[in-house]
Structure 1
Amino acid sequence: MPTSSGTRHALLKVAVAAAALATTAVVLPGAAPALAATTADGFASVNALGQNGTTGGAGGAVVTATTTAQFLDYIARSEPLVVQVKGTITLPTGTTDGMHNVASDKTIIGLGTDARLVGGGLNIGLPVDDDVTSPPANAVHNIIIRNLALTGATDDLINVQMFSHHIWIDHNDFSNGDDGAVDIKRGSDFVTVSWNRFHDHDKTLLLGHDDDNGAQDIGRLRVTYHHNYFDGSDQRNPRVRFGESVHVYNNYYRDNSYGVASAMNAGVVMEGNYFYSVNNPGRVDFSGDLGRIVARDNILVECNHEIELRGSVVEPRTYYAYTLNRAAEVPTIVPAGAGTGRI
């Protein structure tokens, strides 16, 4: 049954009090974070694996792609580049099922309000190899993708795999992909997915692809999801295996079958999110082994189930500082700031 107003208010008061004791994150009533951050935050900001934060193509040439050929050339080059996308670029299917590799040290950023990638998706990572169980020296890393509408892919819109690290996916619009919107898997690490709008899409965010992939994933898959607008995106918002810590905060969920699913002993911290008309906001009893969820200061409105809680999780503040908005502000702040045309 939906949570009653009185019960929700009581739970919220308890959650806020617990949050004040349990975290060093700052809650600023009435304050919104900058809508156009200039540097990566969350796990993408952490100094690790020989990479101090995520800077993308900073220091490299700035180029503008207006054609498919230009775009595919630029994103595959070995040197740092800031690749500006102007207008609509169609990504061919060809022999790659529409997935096109992005090399390390790239910023891919749309110009204006109408930059689009259609028909295909971006692959960030080396070819799949189950025998590789630790980060290789040539793992793809240090990539920023911002201010793009990605739609109509024949596979994933963005796929991150094979120990890729330090990836920032920010202020984009994702829709109508045949598989995932942003899938992160196979040992990838130190990723932030922020201020994006997901809509007209089914399987949105997969984190950890398979129940049998612990050898690559345990101790990795550290991802921050914040200030995203899950605008009727049906499921996997995200669906997590093995990762810890996974930080899900200040996201706005509207009309979804489920929000977060944590399985295979994954550890997820959910805080300051707003759920409206979501059947299952957070689940640990899903498929495979049980996961873990710590939840605080979330608001549930017209939801059929409470967030399922289990166990303890390494706190994200162990890795980075962050600022929380009040959950009650999220339905105003997030739709106003998420997606393209706002940076």
Structure 2
Amino acid sequence: MSKHGRLASLVAAASGFIFAVALLVVPTASAATLFGDDFEDGNSTGWSSSGGSWSVVADGTRAWRQSGTSTDAKALAGAVWTGQTAQVRVKPAAFNGSGRHVAVTARVQNTSNYYYLGLSNSGSVVLGKRVSGGHTTLASAPATVSVGTWYTLRLEVFGSTLRGFVDGAEVVTATDATFGSGKIGLATYYAAAAFDDVVVTDVPGTGGPTSTTSTTTTTLPPGSCTTSGSPQGFASVNAWGQNGTTGGAGGPTIEVDTAAEFLSAIAQIGPLNICVRGMIALPGPMHNVTSDKTIVGIGSTSGFTGGGLNIGLPPSNVTSPPADAVHNVIIRNLVFRNWADDAINVQMFSHHVWIDHNDLSNGYDGLIDIKRGSSYVTVSWNHAHHHSKNMLLGHDDSNGAQDVGRLKVTYHHNWFDATPQRNPRVRYGEPVHVYNNYYFYNTDVGVACQADAGCLVEGNYFENVEEPVSNNYAGPGGRCVARNNVLVGESGQPDCSGSVQEPRDYYAYTLTDPNTVKSVVTAGAGVGKIGG
């Protein structure tokens, strides 16, 4: 169930202590998280179910599965709310007959009266209501609905306006005033499905309202491919024989829209700018990218499903950077979905890598993992969501021979959107610079700094994060310094000790005002935007 009750008690208990970390005291954010459940506690406490067969299962991460298809099954949770946004990840498993659906529900009166947003096996998204058990379709739109695929459904109900979103895109809207308030829920209509990452807020959009504060970002026009730009942070440093990260600069620019074209391009030797058009289905698990490449998506709907990108030589036991280590790679403005291993993996002393303005969710293992002596990497302006194993820096407590003195990485202006853990989880790297990121409802831990790593965590905005920063999360301890962070809602206090080398010894940087980080990052992170 939601951990907000435990969060509140921990924060209250902590209020009597004095911490050596400087914190900014700010008003609570206007958006309230009303309810959340990622089922990682292994139970469904807080829910009431009717019909079907419900159980918490392992499905990549833990999820709540309804496995029966012979009846109409529902589950309810929460209090009675008026305006509400209910979001859930759902994976249809089976349909029994035609016109069946799996759904998120809102303003639920009881199991026979509610609004719903459903994925139907008739090939549509349906926004409807049930009154005394009867179905009324308020709006619908064509959609591809596949068994075994995760989708994100979001139903917003404010006043008499109902809006339905699938994977972040608004697809249906309607006006209806039958129900003025109610609970939220999940439903399967003669269908089986797994549900995960339920989040309910009192404003449109699960991350709160989008601020109109101006930022340095600009929207990419449809069809454009921007290969220029320079990183901040460690990817900009002159080290290991490489002065900054330029990717394919100086080489030709090509456009690809098939897996065969893309895989051929990333295998070429020499500088190359690769513009990706549309979503390309890659075979799993990961595909090697050679040095001196810029890979950038066209517009805001280009990227990869099925497979991920590997930047690095095959694993070995060498303990110093080999002469042919992969280097000088830029990955920007790409959507990553449903990868079979990692979305992006950086390994074996790879260096000068810039991973920027991507949208990553719903995969198998890590979103962005950096390991085995890799260094001089910047991870910036990415939107990570609907995934548990987020970002790993250093893969094993026993890999110090390769990692000590390396794993120098900057994470800035990323949106860690309800990603429970590894935001990032760090071993050995120093300094690891985590600044100006927006953390929202990370139920396990924000930054975990372990195995003698040294992390500087500054100028971030933590909202409803029980354990924002820790150097005692699991395994051998590390060192961390937390300063000038904003902690709002039911966020706990940083658990930090020790000293850390200053990133300014390597590069200059300017912090965004931490009080504005939420609005700046939610407006600027992800695909279709350039800047930062």
Counterpart-to-counterpart distance in 1, 2:215 and 2:236: 16
Going by fraction, where is strand more abundant, 1 or 2?
2
Pair member with larger Rg: 2
State the match for 1:20 in structure 2: none
1:275-321 CA distance string (max 9 Å, x none): 11112101111222111110111011133531011100000100000
Aligned 8 A contact 1:43 1:192 in 2: yes
In structure 1, runs of 5+ residues without a counterpart are 17-30
Counterpart-to-counterpart distance in 1, 2:490 and 2:472: 17
1:101-140 correspondence runs (5 A)? 101-130=288-317, 132-140=318-326
1:56 to 247, 251, 255: 247
2:400 to 199, 214, 221: 214
Aligned residues with identical type, % of pairs: 57
Counterpart-to-counterpart distance in 2, 1:303 and 1:50: 46
Taking only aligned residues, the RMSD between alpha carbons, in angstroms, comes to: 2.1
1:120-161 CA distance string (max 9 Å, x none): 10000000002x000000000000000000110011000000
Going by fraction, where is helix more abundant, 1 or 2?
1
Aligned 8 A contact 2:460 2:486 in 1: yes
1:24-35 correspondence runs (5 A)? 34-35=216-217
In structure 2, runs of 5+ residues without a counterpart are 1-8, 25-212, 219-227
Say whether 1:82 aligns with 2:82.
no
1:141-152 correspondence runs (5 A)? 141-152=327-338
| Normalised TM-score (structure 1) | 0.90
Q: Shift of residue 2 of structure 1?
A: 5.5
Aligned 8 A contact 2:23 2:487 in 1: no
Counterpart-to-counterpart distance in 2, 1:140 and 1:193: 17
Structure 1 residues 218 and 178: alpha-carbon distance in aligned structure 2, compared to 1, 3 A threshold? same
State the match for 2:486 in structure 1: 299
Say whether 1:277 aligns with 2:464.
yes
Counterpart-to-counterpart distance in 2, 1:154 and 1:172: 18
Question: Aligned residues, how many?
Answer: 323
Aligned 8 A contact 2:362 2:387 in 1: yes
Q: Shift of residue 12 of structure 1?
A: 11
1:182-230 CA distance string (max 9 Å, x none): 0000000000000000001101000000000000000000000000001
Say whether 1:227 aligns with 2:409.
no
State the match for 2:509 in structure 1: 322
1:32-89 CA distance string (max 9 Å, x none): 7633682111000000000000000000000001111000000111111000000111
Say whether 1:161 aligns with 2:347.
yes
Aligned 8 A contact 1:224 1:246 in 2: yes
Counterpart-to-counterpart distance in 2, 1:79 and 1:35: 30
Q: Shift of residue 110 of structure 1?
A: 0.4
SS at match of 2:401: helix
Aligned 8 A contact 2:407 2:429 in 1: yes
State the match for 1:245 in structure 2: 431
Counterpart-to-counterpart distance in 1, 2:402 and 2:378: 19
Specify the code of the residue in structure 2 equivalent to 1:149: V
Counterpart-to-counterpart distance in 2, 1:79 and 1:114: 27
Structure 1 residues 32 and 273: alpha-carbon distance in aligned structure 2, compared to 1, 3 A threshold? farther
Counterpart-to-counterpart distance in 2, 1:12 and 1:109: 43
Specify the code of the residue in structure 2 equivalent to 1:321: A
1:65 to 228, 252, 256: 256
| Normalised TM-score (structure 2) | 0.59
Counterpart-to-counterpart distance in 2, 1:128 and 1:340: 31
Aligned 8 A contact 1:12 1:297 in 2: no
